[in-house]
Amino acid sequence: MLSDRRDFLVRVRCCGTRYYVPDDLIKVFGDCPVLLLHERIRKCEDCGSREFLQVSLDYPTAAERAEIRVRRLMEVKTYRRPIWRDESA
């Protein structure tokens, strides 16, 4: 589960490479097995495809971490959408 991997970074590769903190992904996708992350992320933020999307765990050294830019979650917006149905008056 992601919560067991808090010391790691999640690396998502497609057009480029992005790194995420497990706690941020838990807020968005729930605490899921790392193997299911590929299903939940669904598509590349850049090209919109999932064909070449690769998701893996990375445990960078301190020196490597200093070079990595991590994509952090700012907020999760919830949209209200009305659902209508027709009834007899």
For binding to Zn ion (CB under 5 A), which residues are involved? Answer: 14-15, 44, 46-47
56, β-bridge pairs = 11
Residue with Cβ nearer Zn ion (4 or 45): 45
Give the angle subtended at the CA of 14 by the CAs of 32 and 38, to the nearest 5°.
20
Give the angle subtended at the CA of 19 by the CAs of 17 and 23, to the nearest 5°.
155
Residue with Cβ nearer Zn ion (45 or 58): 45
Q: Is 23 helix (H, G, I), strand (E, B) or coil?
A: helix
Residue with Cβ nearer Zn ion (1 or 47): 47
Task: Work out how close the CB of 75 gets to Zn ion at its nearest, in angstroms, rounded to a whole number.
Answer: 24
Task: Work out how close the CB of 52 gets to Zn ion at its nearest, in angstroms, rounded to a whole number.
Answer: 6
Cβ–Cβ under 8 Å, residues 16 and 30? no
Task: Work out how close the CB of 14 gets to Zn ion at its nearest, in angstroms, rounded to a whole number.
Answer: 3
